[in-house]
């Protein structure tokens, strides 16, 4: 599929959407603590996003095309709230109350003035144990290493290879089924960005590309399982998973992080 390259003005509009995503994270950070429900966090996010004139893009989202042959219901939340062994797409719930030592991956997508902002961060709930802290640090470093490869003349395979090499070198695994993607006026555009692979393979990175890098790093195996709600994705072995994501724009001078 052809990739729609973005102009400097379009990148600036995407940056405005991305800044609002970051402001939402900054607000939520104050509320992520033991005793809070994931539904409460979701409500805070929705109220703030709408107060700034944006729309939460995940709420009511239905997967397009072949992914929805099972009639997957619309996603009900403003955020994805993925706790502990949930890899991604966790549904906010009034019944799910955060506990000391948990981790929660918060994925935020919004549309501001017609352009998408999309990012994810995994937060500790209070103090976490050493193994969990190591997972969080590793997942964040994987994102940073992927971003370091996002330069004109490199390939998308260089991004995935850097992430895979680092994570697996420390005994972690990289989820295969869920990927980064282009962003623009739509939440999911080309290209698809894998978080594993071989250096020098895949599409060449060009100035004007805008996409997410969002590695999902598991403490155990890479295998996943989908819950009966058709959204929640867990680790098959029940061990924890962490994810960090930025949207970025490629320029001749290097990547611009849009969600900071």
Convert 106-145 into a string of H (helix), E (strand) and C (coil): EEEEEEECCEEEEEEEEEECCCCCHHHHHHHHHHHHHHHH
Write down the residue that tokens 């330069």 correspond to.
151
39: nearest Cα among 90, 73, 101, 103? 90
On whether the CB atoms of residues 38 and 244 are closer than 8 A, the answer is no
**Distance (Å, whole) CA 235 – CA 231:** 13
Token output for 125: 């709930």
CATH class of 8-257: alpha beta
Residue 219 sits at the vertex; the CA angle it makes with 231 and 157, to the nearest 5 degrees, is 75
On whether the CB atoms of residues 105 and 88 are closer than 8 A, the answer is yes
**Distance (Å, whole) CA 98 – CA 75:** 21
136: nearest Cα among 211, 240, 228, 4? 240
Q: Is the dihedral of CA 196, 123, 24, 106 positive or negative?
A: positive
**Distance (Å, whole) CA 172 – CA 151:** 26
What are the residues whose beta carbons fall under 8 Å from the beta carbon of 104, sequence distance 6 or more?
Answer: 32, 38, 41, 81, 82, 83, 98, 122, 123, 125
DSSP 8-state secondary structure symbol assigned to residue 238: -
Residue 29 sits at the vertex; the CA angle it makes with 222 and 60, to the nearest 5 degrees, is 65
Per-residue pLDDT of the chain (260 residues; tens, 9 = 90+): 689 999 999 999 999 999 999 999 999 999 999 999 999 999 999 999 999 999 999 999 998 764 556 789 999 999 999 999 999 999 999 999 999 999 999 999 999 999 999 999 999 999 999 999 999 999 999 999 999 999 999 999 999 999 999 999 999 999 999 999 999 999 999 999 999 999 999 999 999 999 999 999 999 999 999 999 999 999 999 999 999 999 999 999 999 999 99
Token output for 39: 């539904």
Checking phi first, is residue 171 left (phi over 0); if not, alpha (psi -120 to 50) or beta?
Answer: left
Burial of 49 (0-12, 13-18, 19+ CB in 10 A): buried
Q: Tell me, what's the pLDDT at 68? A: 55
Classified as helix, coil or strand, 223 is coil
pTM value > 0.85: yes
Q: Tell me, what's the pLDDT at 67? A: 57
Q: Tell me, what's the pLDDT at 2? A: 81
**Distance (Å, whole) CA 193 – CA 42:** 27
Question: What is the phi/psi pair of residue 39, to 5°?
Answer: -65, -35
β-bridge partners, 112: 115
């Amino acid at each position: 599929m052809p990739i729609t390259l973005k102009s400097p003005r379009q990148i600036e509009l995407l940056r405005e959407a991305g800044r609002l995503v970051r402001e939402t994270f900054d607000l939520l950070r104050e509320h992520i603590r033991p005793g809070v429900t994931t539904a409460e966090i979701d409500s805070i996010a929705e109220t703030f996003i709408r107060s700034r004139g944006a729309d939460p893009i995940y709420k009511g989202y239905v997967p397009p095309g072949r992914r929805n042959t099972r009639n997957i219901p619309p996603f009900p939340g403003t955020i994805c709230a993925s706790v502990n062994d949930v890899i991604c797409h966790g549904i906010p719930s009034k019944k799910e109350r955060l506990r000391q030592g948990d981790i929660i991956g918060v994925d935020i997508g919004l549309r501001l003035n017609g352009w998408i902002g999309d990012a994810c961060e995994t937060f500790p709930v209070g103090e976490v144990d050493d193994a969990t802290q190591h997972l969080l640090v590793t997942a964040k470093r994987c994102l940073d290493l992927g971003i370091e490869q996002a330069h004109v003349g490199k390939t998308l395979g260089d991004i995935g290879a850097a992430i895979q090499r680092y994570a697996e070198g420390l005994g972690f695994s990289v989820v295969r089924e869920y990927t980064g993607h282009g962003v623009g006026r739509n939440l999911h555009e080309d290209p698809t960005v894998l978080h594993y692979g071989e250096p020098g393979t895949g599409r060449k990175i060009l100035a004007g590309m805008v996409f997410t890098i969002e590695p999902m790093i598991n403490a155990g195996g890479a295998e996943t399982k989908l819950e009966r709600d058709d959204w929640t994705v867990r680790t098959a072995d029940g061990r924890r998973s962490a994810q960090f994501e930025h949207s970025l724009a490629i320029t001749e001078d290097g990547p611009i992080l849009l969600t900071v």
